[in-house]
Amino acid sequence: MTDQPYEPLRPKKGPLGELFAPVAGFGVTFSSMFRPTVTEQYPRTKTPPQRRYHGRHQLNRYADGLEKCIGCELCAWACPADAIYVEGADNADLPDGGHLSPGERYGRVYQINYLRCIFCGLCIEACPTRALTMTNDYELAGPDRAGMIYEKTDLLAPLAEGMLAAPHPMAEGTTDTEYYRGEVTAPTGAQVAWVGEHRPDDPTLDGARRVVEGDAPPPTPRRHRLRGSATKAAVATLEASTGGHVGDGSAAAAGPAPDGGRA
Ligand code: SF4
Ligand code: SF4
């Protein structure tokens, strides 16, 4: 090796540059002072994420109210973070021919641990029935560790107007194939009659009856929205820890989630 003196590649500053070098960093500060403020006023103002944002999961339903999940566990096996727990069961074990999902099996237990989930979306790619999708809901704060494990009741899509709450028989003359193909678009008269006989007080009966009689349009599946109640709980916790300087509670004005939310 030759013993050559070090020569920096960057050109040397002139006398003026050398003079202002110690305060050059303040240039960034001064230029920032004249830029518009970008502070997010969350949770008072909620910014909708992009349409393809991967947020909280949802377990979807068919138009007659049956669940799409068949308890196959493929989502749990695909999950790199081991965040999903599924237990399947047989529809044949439900009383009087009722079904929770089309076909043989349904998801009896379904949990997602949001302390583990990294929102990669591999689970929804693995799902063979499109039962599992991800919504835009990013408000996933919880009061404790147990509260971050979402159960099936938290993840199931809310029943849309005109859907019939499960369990009830599959649409007459269909197999799970017709369901997968999207050929079941509304509850049928036989399903309404079955629920009327087994659960006459079911609050979804009237809406489903109107659909069957042609007095209401077929149901349109609904999605979970940003959860006002969860936001309220998170704000209350933050307010307690910061002396009341977070938000004004107006997030509650968004109202509870269609499924009753999860505080
Ligand atoms: S989004 Fe990824 S990490 Fe989260 S449950 Fe699905 S597969 Fe697991
Ligand atoms: S969500 Fe889909 S992949 Fe997961 S158990 Fe249900 S049907 Fe199977």
At 254 the pLDDT is 32
Decide: 129 in ligand 2 pocket, CB within 6 A: yes
**Reported confidence tier of residue 8, pLDDT bands at 50, 70, 90:** confident
Assigned domain for 49 exists: no
Distance between CA atoms of residues 189 and 209, nearest Å: 8
Distance between CA atoms of residues 206 and 215, nearest Å: 11
At 238 the pLDDT is 43
At 7 the pLDDT is 81
Smallest CA separation from ligand 2 atom 8, residue: 72
Distance between Cα 110 and ligand 1 center (Å): 13
**Segment 225-250 mean pLDDT:** 43
Number of the ligand 1 atom closest to the C-alpha atom of 82: 8
| Residue 108, domain CATH | 3.30.70.3270
At 1 the pLDDT is 58
Cα Rg of the chain (Å, integer)? 27
In the predicted model, what is the mean pLDDT of the chain?
84
Assigned domain for 220 exists: yes
Burial class (CB in 10 A: 0-12, 13-18, 19+), 220: exposed
**Segment 56-85 mean pLDDT:** 97
Residue of higher predicted confidence among 143 and 105: 105
Looking at the 3D structure of the chain, how many domains does it have? 1
Assigned domain for 23 exists: no
Q: Which residues, at least 6 apart from 163, have a Cβ–Cβ distance to it below 8 Å?
A: 61, 63, 64, 65, 187, 204, 207, 208, 219
**Segment 39-50 mean pLDDT:** 86
pLDDT tens for each residue of 163-196: 999 999 999 999 999 999 999 999 999 999 999 9
H or E element that contains 111? strand 105-113
Assigned domain for 151 exists: yes
CA angle (64, 154, 232) in 5-degree steps: 125
The reported pTM is 0.73
Number of the ligand 2 atom closest to the C-alpha atom of 74: 3
Distance between Cα 116 and ligand 2 center (Å): 18
**Reported confidence tier of residue 260, pLDDT bands at 50, 70, 90:** very low
pLDDT tens for each residue of 10-24: 888 889 888 888 888
Smallest CA separation from ligand 1 atom 8, residue: 79
Checking if the pLDDT of 234 tops 70, the result is no
Distance between CA atoms of residues 66 and 219, nearest Å: 12
Decide: 74 in ligand 2 pocket, CB within 6 A: yes
Decide: 89 in ligand 2 pocket, CB within 6 A: no
Assigned domain for 79 exists: yes
Assigned domain for 215 exists: yes
Structural domain containing residue 82 = 57-224
Assigned domain for 258 exists: no
Assigned domain for 31 exists: no
Decide: 126 in ligand 1 pocket, CB within 6 A: no
